[in-house]
Chains A and B, each alone.
Chain A
Amino acid sequence: MSRQFTPKVVTANALLEGDVVYLTADDRWSRHHHEAELLEDEAHAEIRLLHAQGQPDRVVGAYLAEARAGAAGPEPVHFREAFRTRGPSNYPHGKQEEGAASRRP
């Protein structure tokens, strides 16, 4: 494990809805950041990203986003990733909207 490697999660957008999704340790795509697998090893992270990129029928644009461990699971580090966990700030749309959380890709 490289010393400089900062923990990551694999994230993408769902093919059909466009909604933000995260790859979990048990190979699901979750709508919730805290359910994502926190990747602390660089080599493992690369493999998980390849695994995600091999699912073009389910997700688009998979990439590794910086994250850190939190009480309820991984938390975003950058503000862009924090916005992606919620939705826009001008309307209660996206994930912050009630009900959206229960939809699955």
Chain B
Amino acid sequence: MYRYDEFDETFVRNRVAQFRAQVERRIDGGLTEDEFKPLRLMNGLYLQLHAYMLRVAIPYGTLDSRKMRQLAMIAERWDKGYGHFTTRQNIQFNWPRLRDVPDMLDALADVGMHAIQTSGNCVRNVTADHFAGAAADEIADPRPVAELLRQWSTDHPEFQFLPRKFKIAITGSPNDRAVTRAHDIGLRMVERDGAPGFEVVAGGGLGRTPVLGQVIRDFLPRADLLPYVEAILSVYNELGRRDNKYKARIKITVQETGLEAFRALVEARFAELRGEWEGADQAWLARIEADFAPPSLRRGSTAPYEDARAGDPVFRAWSDTNLTAHRDPDHAIVTISLKAHGETPGDATTEQMRVMADLAEAYGHDELRISHEQNVILPHVHKADLPRVHAVLKSAGLATANVGLISDIIACPGMDYCALATARSIPVAQAIAARFDELKLEHDIGPIKLKISGCINACGHHHVGHIGILGLDRAGVENYQITLGGDGTETAAIGTRAGKGFAYDEIVDAIERLIHAYLAHRDSAEETFIDTYRRLGPAPFKAALYPEEADRHAA
């Protein structure tokens, strides 16, 4: 894993010291809230509905046991004994007190972590495929490039005051697990004539105007990455609208300018910037790459794994859903579900964080990942160790066998925490997961993505859920709108609205009707929800959602 060098360390410590002084001045009256707010946001500190919230970046979702234990310590000492992992590979602490925040930031700095650029109109935490460096389908580990972008964009003087926030995602696999097309810039590794490079996608974003990114460069040689990304940012910085917050994201800039014209501007800027690095970026990248050397994997029999699968149906069910193919056939990628039925998606207690840290240390080459789907990953586990890993997870309430199923829901904090929310999302997720658990249907339903946001900002990615739920305030009552057919992968699509929304106490039944319609219409157990939807279109699903209307038409 990448280790902070002296420069990073000094930079982060200075920022904490600076912020400590700013907090003191805020408390003793030297700073007004208007002056303090941008400063606290720059350090990841939000004020939510019931308390402050500290958002901590987990760059490209990568942690080790030491960092995870420190997060547990922070949650225990200054929060309420848990943390919330989010779709942007951050962790949020929901209950810090203002006075404690500088100490929390110092504790983070002790393990090379921080909350810088988790807010504000700058380049945010660079996200990556959570299976990076381990997946069987990967061309190369995208994290060195993500780290290069992180270092380059951190405190970059030209890009601290962009027209709006800027999110970059990167994947090294043709199977897109990083939702690259919903980002301001999406980078997908590709090869051309054996040479490594990127397909560059720009102008994606969710929120009130969801747009899928478009290919701005179908093949960018690897060595040109930094000047090209800089060229995009530079053109956006100049053209992006600062007069209207709703038109400020690059997705609007690209639409207003037109993709062709935008591309031409980027290419022209790129031609200017390309020579300036003189290879310094490549030397820099080579140094970073050394920190991401793959772990030396153990050889050995996988018989304990096969035996456990044969003898223990609980283990078998878990290994069916929660394991992914590793590039080494004797190893597996373990996804630890933070979606126990009826619990809050993405939350882990201090105890659970410590268990995951212990497992990473004992069986996982000391690596942990946070996925945008709000789960935790042990990327390199030898198959022989899986029965033991499973047993430990089980005793910590972490062995839910539901990854990729209907209860593996992404949900934003919604009106239980977020000041911008128009409705709750967490209890809706809890109720849906509990319902399908009761019905004992979720394994029969198979792979499906259900995503919930508590307002139009779409932090819960509902636009790219096979089923999306958007919570709204309709005349002072919570109301939930369903979208269908969204997809966040390489076959990305924005879901379309099914029709009028449902009340809080109707939404779970509506989802159940929708699923029964799928089960009735699929041509076999192998046809997934999204495939069935694509084959049949929305009609049978709408009929199930709105039976009264179907009756009316029939009458």
A73 at the interface (CB under 8 A from B): no
Size category, B interface = 20 to 34
A90 touches B51 (CB 8 A): no
A20 at the interface (CB under 8 A from B): yes
A18 touches B47 (CB 8 A): yes
**Which of chain A's residues have a CB closer than 8 A to the CB of B51?**
13, 17-19, 94
C-alpha spacing A7/B476, complex, angstroms: 16
- A88 CB contact (under 8 Å) in B50, B477, B478: B50
**Which of chain B's residues have a CB closer than 8 A to the CB of A91?**
80, 344
> Separation in Å of the A29 CB from the closest CB of chain B?
15
Residues of B54-101 whose CB lies within 8 A of A:
80, 94-95, 97-99
**Which of chain A's residues have a CB closer than 8 A to the CB of B29?**
56-57
A79 touches B32 (CB 8 A): no
A16 touches B50 (CB 8 A): no
Size category, A interface = 20 to 34
B417 at the interface (CB under 8 A from A): yes
> Separation in Å of the B350 CB from the closest CB of chain A?
14
- B27 CB contact (under 8 Å) in A15, A78, A89, A95: A15
- Residue on A with the closest CB to B46? A18
B235 at the interface (CB under 8 A from A): no
Residues of A47-86 whose CB lies within 8 A of B:
56-57, 60-61, 77-80, 83-84
C-alpha spacing A14/B98, complex, angstroms: 10
- Residue on B with the closest CB to A13? B47
A84 touches B47 (CB 8 A): no
- B99 CB contact (under 8 Å) in A16, A78, A88, A95: A16
C-alpha spacing A60/B33, complex, angstroms: 7
Residues of B38-59 whose CB lies within 8 A of A:
47-52
B344 touches A90 (CB 8 A): yes
B98 touches A83 (CB 8 A): no
B426 at the interface (CB under 8 A from A): yes
C-alpha spacing A66/B488, complex, angstroms: 40
B207 at the interface (CB under 8 A from A): no
A18 touches B416 (CB 8 A): no
- A18 CB contact (under 8 Å) in B27, B98, B427: B98
C-alpha spacing A26/B47, complex, angstroms: 27
The main secondary structure of chain A at its interface with chain B is loop
Q: B126-167 vs A: 1/0 string, CB under 8 Å? A: 000000000000000000000000000000000000000000
- Residue on A with the closest CB to B51? A18
**Which of chain A's residues have a CB closer than 8 A to the CB of B427?**
89-90
A19 touches B50 (CB 8 A): yes
C-alpha spacing A19/B94, complex, angstroms: 12
A16 touches B426 (CB 8 A): no
**Which of chain B's residues have a CB closer than 8 A to the CB of A95?**
50
| Known A-B contacts A17-B97, A88-B417; A61 and B50 likewise in contact (beta carbons under 8 Å) | no
| Known A-B contacts A84-B50, A93-B95; A16 and B27 likewise in contact (beta carbons under 8 Å) | yes
B114 at the interface (CB under 8 A from A): no
> Separation in Å of the B89 CB from the closest CB of chain A?
21
C-alpha spacing A19/B47, complex, angstroms: 10
C-alpha spacing A64/B182, complex, angstroms: 37
Q: A23-37 vs B: 1/0 string, CB under 8 Å? A: 000000000000000
B415 at the interface (CB under 8 A from A): yes
> Separation in Å of the B301 CB from the closest CB of chain A?
44
B424 at the interface (CB under 8 A from A): yes
B426 touches A18 (CB 8 A): no
- Residue on B with the closest CB to A17? B97
Q: Pick from A57, A61, A80, A83 the residue with the most CB of B within 10 Å.
A: A80
> Separation in Å of the A57 CB from the closest CB of chain B?
5
C-alpha spacing A17/B344, complex, angstroms: 23
- B424 CB contact (under 8 Å) in A16, A17, A89: A89
A60 touches B50 (CB 8 A): no
Can you name 14 A-B pairs with beta carbons within 8 Å? A15-B98, A16-B98, A16-B99, A17-B98, A56-B32, A60-B47, A61-B47, A77-B476, A78-B476, A80-B473, A83-B415, A88-B417, A91-B80, A93-B95
> Can you add 4 more A-B contacts, CB < 8 Å, to A18-B52, A20-B50, A93-B95?
A16-B99, A57-B28, A88-B426, A89-B427
